[in-house]
């Protein structure tokens, strides 16, 4: 028996972690125990004197590391959503140790020898299709990690992996600290232009800190609405400059040196593995295959996006001049005047929309969409102990009423919580040694208010992250390594992005977009104007995204990143692509967490647009059928969500669509076809 709740059996509801018992000091011994057990299991596999077989090698590896998986999943989920100083210290201590452990397992020569021997005989092994793909993908993964290198090179690869984990952790903690440290206190005279929902949220943020007045923070749900609505240009500029300065402040939280070292280490790793750049290495194992394919897609969109943005800027400057402001539109002005233009052109006022988009109704809309598409339903389980009062637990049930999984929703922004929105797993679905149901979590950063009212973008983000959740919840993969979102990096966004389309289905809006106080549906005229305005501002949005994707590729193809003057590089790069001066990068390098607080999207930020080609083309199929819930197409889409990495992603997509995807629906969706 043990008094460490992380190492004792998790006997609570659904086998969830015992959140009410866990403290930061429980994690170091539990992580140590998990690594030790995993190391022993892997050593036993490598030392097996029997000839390698799928059962004694691949199956055995899939069974190994169970304690470490559950403890580390619990830790990294909690440190992302409630990063106390004690938890952050554990993260700083253990991120490099865990990275070193993973590298030692991955680069173990005995394990690689067994897998290579099996892979050489793959056609003769008589494996099922998912097993054959698992073996092939594992062999590829090990080669790409450096398992086939000589001992000195393997040791260098392990050292690089360990150091990168330290740098990624420091980068993310620096950004979070900058976000938590900055706030702008407003008085009654500073509220001009702010709608009631933003005033209420700012008041609640101040009250939560025991301060009189109204607080604007660098949480996206606070600063972006402020930039959209505040009539105080001076305060908009102050907020915007603080937003883009995250990670740039001189001293120990300056992310510049971290970025240079991260890029240099990634480039070194790629060269050791025989690739010209990190981007070349990264893309070799994606749908895109090479940087040229990525850049071809991005530039296909970039030029019409710039033309569309120039048209938008001219219209905004004309609108500002008519209002008596004759200066040029600056980056802190664009959202403000764009909202004014949307009101003028579409009679669409965000403050009139938001009362019809309460969080509860949009959550019900997402659940109902899943029911109509995939036959699953969600029931709240309020009795389940969780890690924060804001978090809610829902059980996913199949059409037969049987348990299928657990969905946790952590919806609100708070101090110590990473910014943005993301999905993660406490446990993945598998059926390898008996059925194991998944536990997934969606994190959003909605401003907490009573009631919590969502912007259109926030409602779309809710659907997006729920799409990721469904990818995990619906998985029928046999093996943990193939479950749910464990797919190639430029396919993982397809299941999330395609689900966003169902928010725009008129039937969804008519049923669920209802006034939080009166229950009245969104007026039909307002609904029509909302749908008609979906292409409003797409020049800005596309330029903002594509520029970030392009700079990601440029940074990861740089020949000598350790020499970079990041400010100079950013300015020269933006000039070289013709970046409109009044539009800022969505993610400047010093706070580009997709790239530098982990490696998941490094040389991979493009994947959102790569997946958008697929999602726009896929939803076209439903529109062609004349039914957003066409049962045949829904079944085909469900097959993609269920498959995980058991099949090649393009094979999955063409099985659903009957052909390869076309880029034209994306251009139409963004209003760029004629730009």
Kind of pairing between the strands at 439-446 and 403-412:
parallel
The backbone torsions φ and ψ at residue 630, rounded to the nearest 5 degrees and listed phi first, read: -50, 125
Among candidate residues 339, 430, 465, 612, the one labeled active-site is 465
Taking Cα atoms as reference points, which of 42, 167, 171 lies closest to residue 99?
167
The backbone torsions φ and ψ at residue 433, rounded to the nearest 5 degrees and listed phi first, read: -120, 50
Task: Say how far apart CA 539 and CA 667 lie, in whole Å.
Answer: 11
The radius of gyration computed from the CA coordinates of the chain, to the nearest angstrom, equals: 25
Taking Cα atoms as reference points, which of 183, 188, 208, 210 lies closest to residue 199?
188
CB 107 within 8 A of CB 158: yes
Residue 645: strand pairing partners: none
| Token couple for 523 | 């007026």
Taking Cα atoms as reference points, which of 81, 83, 102 lies closest to residue 91?
83
Taking each continuous run of H as one helix and of E as one strand, the counts in the chain are 27, 7
Task: Say how far apart CA 604 and CA 608 lie, in whole Å.
Answer: 8
CB 438 within 8 A of CB 484: yes
181: Cβ–Cβ under 8 A, 6 or more apart, which residues?
A: none
Residue 508: strand pairing partners: none
Task: Say how far apart CA 643 and CA 647 lie, in whole Å.
Answer: 7
**Sequential DSSP letters for 134-150:** HHHHHHHHHHHHTTTS-
> Does residue 465 have an active-site annotation?
yes
CB 382 within 8 A of CB 572: no
**Sequential DSSP letters for 537-588:** THHHHHHHHHHHHHHHHHHTT-S-GGG--HHHHHHHHHHHTT--TTS--SS-
* 521 burial type by CB count under 10 A (0-12 exposed, 13-18 middle, 19+ buried): middle
Task: Say how far apart CA 495 and CA 607 lie, in whole Å.
Answer: 12
User: Which residue carries 């194992």 as its tokens?
Assistant: 285
Looking at the annotation, which residues are catalytic? 465
């Amino acid at each position: 028996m043990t008094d460490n709740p992380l190492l004792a059996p998790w006997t609570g509801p659904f086998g969830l972690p015992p959140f009410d018992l866990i403290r930061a000091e429980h994690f170091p011994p539990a992580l140590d125990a998990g690594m030790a057990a995993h190391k022993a299991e892997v050593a036993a596999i490598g030392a097996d004197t029997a000839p390698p077989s799928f059962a004694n090698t691949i199956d055995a590896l899939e069974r190994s590391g169970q304690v470490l998986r559950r403890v580390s999943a619990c830790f990294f989920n909690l440190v992302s959503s409630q990063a106390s100083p004690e938890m952050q210290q554990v993260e700083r201590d253990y991120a490099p140790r865990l990275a070193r452990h993973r590298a030692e397992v991955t680069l173990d020569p005995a394990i690689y020898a067994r897998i290579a021997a099996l892979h050489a005989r793959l056609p003769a092994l008589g494996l099922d299709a998912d097993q054959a793909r698992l073996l092939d993908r594992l062999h590829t993964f090990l080669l790409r990690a450096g398992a086939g290198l000589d001992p000195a090179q393997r040791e260098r690869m392990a050292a690089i992996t360990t150091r990168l984990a330290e740098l990624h952790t420091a980068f993310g903690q620096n950004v979070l600290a900058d976000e938590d440290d900055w706030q702008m206190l407003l008085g009654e005279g500073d509220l001009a232009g702010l709608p009631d929902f933003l005033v209420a949220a700012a008041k609640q943020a101040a009250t939560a800190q025991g301060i009189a007045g109204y607080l604007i923070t660098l949480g996206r749900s606070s600063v972006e609405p402020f930039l959209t609505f505040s009539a105080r240009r001076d305060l908009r500029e102050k907020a915007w400059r603080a937003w883009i300065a995250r990670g740039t402040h001189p001293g120990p939280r300056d992310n510049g040196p971290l970025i240079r070292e991260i890029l240099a280490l990634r480039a070194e790793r790629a060269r050791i593995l025989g690739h010209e750049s990190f981007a070349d290495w990264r893309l070799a194992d994606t749908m895109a295959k090479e940087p040229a394919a990525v850049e071809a897609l991005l530039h296909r969109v970039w030029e019409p996006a710039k033309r569309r943005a120039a048209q938008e800027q001219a219209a905004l400057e004309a609108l500002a001049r008519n209002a008596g402001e004759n200066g040029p539109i600056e980056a802190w002005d664009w959202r403000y005047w764009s909202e004014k233009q949307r009101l003028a052109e579409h009679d669409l006022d965000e403050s009139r929309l938001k009362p019809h988009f309460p969080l509860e109704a949009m959550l019900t809309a997402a659940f109902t969409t899943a029911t109509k598409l995939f036959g699953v339903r969600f029931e709240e389980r309020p009795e389940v102990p969780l890690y924060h009062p804001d978090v809610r637990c829902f059980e996913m049930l199949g059409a037969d009423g049987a348990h299928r999984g657990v969905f946790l929703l952590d919806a609100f922004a708070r101090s110590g919580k990473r910014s943005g929105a993301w999905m993660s797993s406490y446990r993945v679905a598998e059926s390898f040694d008996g059925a194991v149901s998944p536990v997934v979590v969606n994190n959003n950063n909605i401003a907490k208010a009573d009631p919590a009212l969502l912007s259109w973008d926030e409602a779309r983000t809710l659907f997006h992250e729920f799409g990721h959740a469904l990818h995990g919840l619906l998985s029928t993969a046999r093996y943990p390594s193939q479950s749910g979102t464990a797919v190639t990096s430029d396919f993982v966004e397809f299941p999330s992005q395609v689900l966003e389309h169902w928010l725009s289905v008129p039937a969804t809006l008519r049923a669920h977009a209802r006034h939080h106080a009166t229950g009245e549906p969104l007026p039909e005229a307002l609904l029509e104007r909302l749908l008609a305005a979906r292409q409003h501002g797409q020049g800005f949005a596309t330029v903002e995204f594509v520029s970030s994707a392009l700079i990601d590729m440029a940074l990861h193809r740089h020949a000598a990143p350790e020499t970079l003057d990041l400010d100079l590089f950013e300015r020269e790069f933006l000039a070289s692509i013709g970046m409109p001066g009044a539009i800022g990068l969505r993610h400047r390098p010093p706070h580009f967490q997709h790239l530098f607080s982990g490696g998941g999207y490094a040389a991979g930020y493009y994947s959102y647009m790569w997946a958008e080609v697929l999602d726009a083309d896929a939803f076209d199929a439903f529109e062609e059928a004349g039914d957003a819930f066409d049962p045949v197409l829904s079944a085909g889409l469900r097959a993609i969500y269920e498959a995980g990495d058991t099949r090649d992603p393009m094979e999955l997509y063409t099985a659903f669509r009957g052909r390869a995807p076309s880029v034209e629906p994306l251009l139409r969706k963004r209003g760029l076809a004629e730009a």
